[in-house]
Structure 1
Amino acid sequence: MPELYKDYLNKQLREKKKHDVLLAMDVLPFLSKRTRALRGRFNKVLGEYIRKICDLELDSSALKSHEFFMSEEQNVFSEHIARSVEFDSDEEQYDFIRFLDQYLFNKEDIKLIHPFLFNLITVDKQNKNEFNKYGQFMKDTMLLNKEEVKGIFNQKESEDILTELILSQLDLLKDSPAKKREYKPLLKPLANLYQEDIIYLSKYKDYFLTSFPLLTHFYVFMYANQLVFKFEQYNEANYNELQPLYFSLEWESLSKRRKSASGDIDSFKYIKAKLDNLFPHIHTMSQLSHNAANVSENEIKNEETIDLLTYTEIYNLIQQGKLDERRFLVELKEWIHEYMAWRGNEYNSSSTTIREAFEELHDCLKLGMSSTVISKYGGNVEDLGANQFIKNRGSLGQVLNIKHDFLLLITAVSVKNERIPLNDLFIEFEKRGIALDRYSKKEVIKLFDKQNILDKKSDSGDAQYVKPIL
């Protein structure tokens, strides 16, 4: 029995004549054609995401009957709500409809006056496939226990009569069976923090409505950056902790000596330089996941979805004796030779260790792939952070960026209900993947001092505490 199912890999490659993750779960929702549709429009993904959490879908027949979005003076949905209210005159009804139009809609977008309304964020047909992938990805990787979060978005209770009236007339959704997991969750510590943070924010309804999209955007962006970093470490990557990356504050001046603008391993310049490796890494791990410790020959024959294993997980299987190291290395080297033969190149592997063979297979796959596809796929990381978490600093290039509203938000979820020492705040930032150099920390302290967020125990500034924001 083989350790690596290279005959299956060979057969699939020759039949499909293209690179494919085959039976393995996917890792990221990126498209190789890079539409840039997500740039500055991350909130449009949230409807697909929340409906998947709540096991709901938009009812197309109800949407057609309501003509939900209108470009005319009045919105038909506002008229639908008004029909459930008694008026003394047509003029009163007309005024109420106009009020609802202004209260509930911003041009074609629904205003999020209640968490349930996230379910009604729609997406145009052109981007439906891509945004649906993001919604599924976020549900699969960012929520390890969606039931804890589901209750935030699937109930219609409200403290005011108007919102209660609006929610009672929402018959635009129907139940949808939960889909099987399609994406492998690789960063459980990040997912746990995200879930903890949004549950905390949900206790503060008004702030939650404006901050939930931004917080979710950050965690998804950070997830992608962390994977780029981890994959470069091959089997030495530790997925149980994050690598803090240096950010700068949008309003501070920078020089090339600053951590966020350097090319060091913990800067965005390093991440950007490795984006072209992302697509080959995913395919390398997908191929390696077709091994005897992960999937049986019968499952291969039945073409059942299999777990995607990282380099670290595969190496651990070898260390645990679940894969024979010598045989696996021999078969992996043979597969590298066969792959290169498929590409029309005579090639003999020179690897003497598993780590070397991992790197060699990655490099060979990268050579055999379209450089355009590789570049466009990796470029999705930039699109994900554009206009919010990535800023172009002229000659310094792109850096990771923190805007004022996000600084307050990440501080709020880091501190929560009890004041904490200032140094502990920066530790909480780093747990979430954010590192600040000493200059940025001084700017944070200056801002917090102005906004009365700091609590000083002495005039010298020693033992400074950060107060809860919410």
Structure 2
Amino acid sequence: MNYQENLQELKGHLSIKEDKLGLTHKINKRSNFFPFGTRATERSKFKDGFDGVLGEFTRNICEVDLAQPLDLEKLVKEISLNEDINDEEAVYFQQILRMFLQDNNGTLKVFHPHIFLYLPLNDGKQSKNEKDIAKFLFDIFIDNNQSLRDIFKSGNSNDLVSKLVLNYLQGLSETKVEQKYSSKIKHITKTFQEDLTFLSTHEDYFKNHFSLLVSYYYFFYITQLTLKVAQRSKADYEDINSVYYTLDWEPTSKSRRGYLNGYPMIKDAYNNLLIDINVLEHLNILFGMNDSQQYTELQSTFNSLSVEKQSEFKSVLCDWIKIYREQMSLSPKTIDNEGYEDLVQYLYNSILEAYQKPNMLGPRSRYPLSIEEIGKKYFMKTRGSLGYMLNVTQDLILLLAAVCIKNEKQSLKNLFKELELRGLFFDRYSKEEIVNLFNKLNLLDKKSDSGDAQYVKPIL
């Protein structure tokens, strides 16, 4: 590996010119970690929900493209004309089809899993970010699992009207989806695939809760990765960081784990997320990586080098820090005989210092707002003076409990462990509320008064 050539590539990537100072911060060339942008127009607000992302995500799974949104009125008339319906009956037949195809606001009703492929992107600039998020979800969660596309096939309906409509659906064309992202937290990917596969075996529940499952796992993954990136070389990518939620219907306070170890912890981590993303971009280019290595992977890459190559890389990294500081008009610093981690810290501090300039504060603060957008839409709730806290609705806790339990009852103790594997940590007060909910819904099978001897029945 020629690290000097990599240094020249990095200089070119950031548009450094020999005859003048300054550079352009660019990300997502060698380090694709998040589908976030630094401009407000690049950020999806989920104003019309998650359907735009969901439709593109399922199309990615099935490797198809939707040329244009489905024209429901045209479809209704086409079916009516081709099914040999006489004029007198056609009016009533078309009314039935419209009721079957449209929900109350006139949008496409998902009456079969195949219909998810026809959910269009939203209009306007945010559609680009919806496509980016869908691509991210596909790369992170599907990971070339071809069997998952069977969930959305059109040929497995027993309902006569569904069969009729599915036979007339067109507009999808085959396409190839190139990989951009790679999962850094593999057990989240594995758990998602297990949960999606199980949920798909209960079609009615799946149709109503697929969106909630995918949006939750999106929020789960990006918040976990944010926490781990902030921990840098100390992060454990084989474990889940403990993040505490509170239930939608319970009171809370500053002494609760949901406040102390909840959203404020995520917010602290994402304040400097763009700094870390720039550091990772620079390091991946200097190492010559093409697989978006995070901090611990880069540390392993460095440790695997010979002593001679380690020295060569550190020298180039040292040169780059000096070049960066000069280009950004930062005061020069003496850097000699430093270890790898010390040099990474020097680079981090230099980029942080650059982003503290008034003209750089905007991009730094806007980059992590993508976490807030999805969180405030579905998984956070304002709690007065406590501000926003992570929030679980009854619908979400029942959905995740259902995919944890699957077809055989589980002990409460094991269920809470399974929920933690899916990112939901609760303090003892919230656990008591969940037990009360299960009891109220007749989901508990009590072997004795002991908590350990209580089992939760399958929900689906």
TM-score above 0.5: yes
Q: Which residue of 2 aligns with 1:116?
A: 114
Which of 422, 435, 441 is 2:425 aligned to? 435
Q: Which residue of 1 aligns with 2:267?
A: 272
Report the Cα distance in structure 1 between the residues aligned to 2:156 and 2:93, rounded to whole angstroms: 22
For 1:13-92, list aligned pairs within 5 A.
13-15=14-16, 17-21=23-27, 23-34=29-40, 35-39=43-47, 41-60=49-68, 68=71, 75-87=73-85, 89-92=86-89
Which of 250, 254, 257 is 2:255 aligned to? 257
Cα pair distance change 1:410/1:349, threshold 3 Å = farther
Shift of 1:285: 0.7
Shift of 1:346: 2.7
Q: Which residue of 1 aligns with 2:354?
A: 368
Which of 86, 100, 103 is 1:103 aligned to? 100
Alignment-mate amino acid for residue 305 of structure 2: G
Shift of 1:462: 4.7
Q: Which residue of 2 aligns with 1:145?
A: 144
Which of 395, 403, 413 is 2:393 aligned to? 403
Shift of 1:43: 2.4
Alignment-mate amino acid for residue 71 of structure 2: F
- Verify: 1:331 aligned to 2:316, yes or no: yes
Alignment-mate amino acid for residue 364 of structure 1: S
Q: Secondary structure at the match of 2:445?
A: strand
Alignment-mate amino acid for residue 358 of structure 1: V
Indicate the larger mover: 418-427 or 359-368.
359-368
- Verify: 1:239 aligned to 2:229, yes or no: no
Q: Which residue of 2 aligns with 1:302?
A: none
Report the Cα distance in structure 1 between the residues aligned to 2:429 and 2:335, rounded to whole angstroms: 47
Shift of 1:367: 3.0
For 1:278-427, list aligned pairs within 5 A.
278-292=273-287, 294-295=288-289, 306-321=290-305, 324-348=309-333, 352-369=338-355, 370-427=360-417
Q: Which residue of 1 aligns with 2:20?
A: none
Report the Cα distance in structure 2 between the residues aligned to 1:131 and 1:36, rounded to whole angstroms: 6
Question: What are the ranges of 5 or more consecutive residues in structure 2 without an aligned counterpart?
Answer: 18-22
Q: Secondary structure at the match of 2:82?
A: coil
Aligned partners of 1:158 and 1:164 also within 8 Å = yes
Aligned partners of 1:10 and 1:339 also within 8 Å = no
Report the Cα distance in structure 2 between the residues aligned to 1:347 and 1:148, rounded to whole angstroms: 55
Q: Secondary structure at the match of 2:245?
A: strand
Report the Cα distance in structure 1 between the residues aligned to 2:341 and 2:245, rounded to whole angstroms: 31
Aligned partners of 1:286 and 1:309 also within 8 Å = no
Aligned partners of 1:246 and 1:436 also within 8 Å = yes
Cα pair distance change 1:460/1:230, threshold 3 Å = closer
Shift of 1:453: 0.9
Shift of 1:125: 3.7
Q: Which residue of 2 aligns with 1:299?
A: none
Q: Secondary structure at the match of 2:237?
A: coil
Report the Cα distance in structure 1 between the residues aligned to 2:242 and 2:123, rounded to whole angstroms: 37
Alignment-mate amino acid for residue 49 of structure 1: F
Aligned partners of 2:52 and 2:120 also within 8 Å = yes
Shift of 1:205: 0.4
Indicate the larger mover: 190-199 or 6-15.
6-15
Shift of 1:359: 2.7
Shift of 1:120: 0.3
Cα pair distance change 1:450/1:85, threshold 3 Å = same
Report the Cα distance in structure 2 between the residues aligned to 1:326 and 1:465, rounded to whole angstroms: 58
Shift of 1:77: 2.0
Shift of 1:371: 1.3
Shift of 1:445: 0.6
Shift of 1:330: 3.1
Aligned partners of 1:25 and 1:182 also within 8 Å = no
Q: Which residue of 2 aligns with 1:452?
A: 442
Cα pair distance change 1:40/1:427, threshold 3 Å = farther
Q: Secondary structure at the match of 1:341?
A: helix
Aligned length: 444
Q: Which residue of 1 aligns with 2:158?
A: 159
Report the Cα distance in structure 1 between the residues aligned to 2:36 and 2:153, rounded to whole angstroms: 28
CA RMSD of aligned residues (A): 2.0
Shift of 1:40: 6.0
Aligned partners of 1:39 and 1:386 also within 8 Å = no
1:131-186 Cα distance to aligned partner (Å, 9 max, x none): 1111111111111233121110133321111100000000121111x222112321
Indicate the larger mover: 266-275 or 417-426.
266-275
Q: Secondary structure at the match of 1:388?
A: helix
Shift of 1:447: 0.8
- Verify: 1:214 aligned to 2:200, yes or no: no
Q: Which residue of 2 aligns with 1:224?
A: 222
Q: Secondary structure at the match of 1:227?
A: helix
TM-score, with length taken from structure 1? 0.90
Aligned partners of 2:258 and 2:390 also within 8 Å = yes
Aligned partners of 2:31 and 2:293 also within 8 Å = no
Report the Cα distance in structure 2 between the residues aligned to 1:462 and 1:228, rounded to whole angstroms: 34
Q: Which residue of 2 aligns with 1:197?
A: 195
Q: Secondary structure at the match of 2:315?
A: helix
Shift of 1:15: 4.3
Report the Cα distance in structure 2 between the residues aligned to 1:393 and 1:461, rounded to whole angstroms: 30
Aligned partners of 1:226 and 1:243 also within 8 Å = yes
1:98-120 Cα distance to aligned partner (Å, 9 max, x none): 12112211234211110000000
Identity %: 31
Aligned partners of 2:10 and 2:286 also within 8 Å = no
